[in-house]
Structure formats: C-alpha cells, structure tokens
Amino acid sequence: MRRLLIAVTAALAVTLAAAGAATAADVVRFRIDIGFEEPFLRADITQACGFQVYVQGDGYLNVMLQYDSAGRLLRETYSTPGAFVTYTAPAMGTSYRFPWMPREQFTYPEGATIGGPAILRSTGMIVNHPGEPAEAGVVVLKGTVVGISPDGVPFVDFTDDQIADVFARGSLARADNPTKSICSALTAT
C-alpha cells in the first residue's frame, strides 16, 4: 500500500504542478494506473501460512480536484471502479480478489491551507477476505491540514481526539486478524 500512496502522491504532485494556479471553480480530472508491475510478497502472511503469498493491484484510480474562485483546493475525490486487489499463492495454484479501496473524498471547507480543517469521507468496500465478514460502510474523520508539499499536495493529520470522534456506519469492526482466513482461502482447492 505504501507503493500506491507514493505513486498517487507523485501523480497528484505532477498534476497540480502542471495545472499551475487554478482559476475560478476549476475541476481537474485524471486517471492513474495503480496496477503494480509485479506482485509483491507479503512476508507476514507468508510466514503465517507457510507458503509464499503475493498481493497485486490492478486497475485505475480516478482523481478529481475542485478549486474555488481564488484557486484554493476545496475537494479531492478518489475512486477505483473496476480495480481489484488479488492475493495469490503460486505454490498452491490459488488466488482470490476483491474490489480495491473505497471511494475517498477530502474536503477543505476553508481551502487546503495549513491549519485549516479537513474532512475525510470514505465510502464503500474496504476489504473482503473469504471466510471473514466484509468491511464496508461510511467513515468520516475531521482533521487538520498540517502541511502542503511544494507541488501543492496537502498533508492531513488526525489527532487522537479527532479519531475518537469518528463517524462510522456499516460493518467496519473486524473481530480477528484475517491472516488465518487468507491462508485457508489460498489452500482451498
């Protein structure tokens, strides 16, 4: 997931730099290929299962940036329709997949300015491993813009108090670590 975050941040930075100063109520849309070129080994799951387990993403991330008339970033929206995460065990000849991340939206009521408020709203499927209840729903967190990259990418932080004040609805509480279910799903024939 760290690789995805780096790729998304880099692409967002390039887009913001290319867009320059936004003009009145601009909306910028673009797509990022989020398919990993190679599956990556999940060492923690591999160790637990006793065989190699790889994870690979495929699909696209749709990004929409909305600016106010002063050129301040008001909203970032991310969606991954048709994108999937695949868990694979080559030695077992098995795999399974589920839809990629939920739709996420960052809203900056005062524009993306340092010290300004930020609201993260995540809606949809978070994860769906076989044998485990799917985690899906709506999560809303209120945070603060703590920095902005030279390319205009805002960095948002959530304090412990803000996290404690989270709004969450849906099936979002996983009772157990899903590793055992992942291993079971990948050993099934």
Please write the tens of the pLDDT for every residue from 32-51.
888 877 899 999 999 999 99
Band the pLDDT of 4: cuts 50, 70, 90: very low
Which SS3 state, helix, strand or coil, does residue 9 take? helix
pLDDT beyond 80 at 21: no
Query: Smallest Cα–Cα separation from 50: which of 179, 143, 139?
Result: 179
Which domain range does residue 61 map to? 2-187
Q: pTM for the whole thing?
A: 0.72
Quote the tokens at residue 127: 């994860």
When divided into structural domains, the chain yields a total of: 1
- 10: Cα within 13 Å, side-chain hemisphere: 9
* Average pLDDT score over residue span 176-185: 86
